[in-house]
C-alpha cells in the first residue's frame, strides 16, 4: 500500500496537486499530512470517531469525489472538518484529553499500521489543518490516496 495525503487547498489547486501525485511526483509539502499505509477508508473512520467525540455523531463523514478526472482525490465534508477542528478546543467535564482519546481509538481500529503515539501526532496535525480552513479563501480539506 502507498500513502494517503490530506491537505488544504482551493479546488483548482487540489486538482493540480492530485495530478502531480497521480503521476508519481511529489507535491510540495505546504499544508499537508502524509500518512503511509492507510487509505481513504481510515480517514473516514477518523471522521466518525472525531464526530462522536465532539457529540456530532450521525453526520455524514463520507469523503466525496471531487472530479470525474481523478478517482484518487476526495473532498472532506464540512461536518468532518468541523469535528476535526473541534478536537483542538472541545471542552469536556473531567473526560481528559479528547484529542488523545480519539487518537487512541483510531490507532485501535483493525489493521492500523501505527500505534497511539503516532496516531496522536497525525490527529493533532489534521485537527490543525481543519482549524485553518478559511471559507473566505475558498479552501477545503482534501484527501489523496494512492
CA 40 – CA 4 distance, rounded (Å): 7
- Please state, in angstroms and rounded to a whole number, the distance separating the CA atoms of residues 120 and 18: 26
pTM of the prediction?
0.91
pLDDT by residue, tens only, the chain of 146 residues:
689 999 999 999 999 999 999 888 876 667 799 999 999 999 999 999 999 999 887 888 999 999 887 889 999 999 999 999 999 988 666 666 899 999 999 999 998 999 999 999 999 999 999 999 987 788 999 999 97
State the cell numbers at 128: 490543525
Polymer length of the chain:
146
pLDDT at residue number 29 = 67
Amino acid at each position: 500500500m502507498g500513502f494517503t495525503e490530506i491537505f488544504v487547498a482551493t479546488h483548482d489547486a487540489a486538482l493540480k496537486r492530485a495530478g502531480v501525485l497521480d503521476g508519481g511526483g511529489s507535491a510540495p509539502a505546504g499544508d499537508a499530512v502524509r500518512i503511509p499505509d492507510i487509505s481513504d477508508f481510515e480517514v473516514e473512520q477518523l471522521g466518525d470517531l472525531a464526530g462522536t467525540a465532539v457529540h456530532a455523531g450521525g453526520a455524514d463523514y463520507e469523503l466525496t469525489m471531487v472530479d470525474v478526472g481523478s478517482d484518487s482525490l476526495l473532498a472532506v465534508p464540512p461536518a468532518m472538518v468541523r469535528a476535526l477542528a473541534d478536537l483542538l478546543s472541545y471542552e469536556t467535564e473531567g473526560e481528559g484529553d479528547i484529542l488523545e482519546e480519539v487518537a487512541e481509538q483510531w490507532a485501535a481500529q483493525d489493521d492500523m499500521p501505527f500505534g497511539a503515539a503516532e496516531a496522536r501526532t497525525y490527529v493533532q496535525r489534521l485537527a490543525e489543518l481543519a482549524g485553518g480552513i478559511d471559507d473566505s479563501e475558498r479552501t477545503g480539506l482534501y484527501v489523496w490516496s494512492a
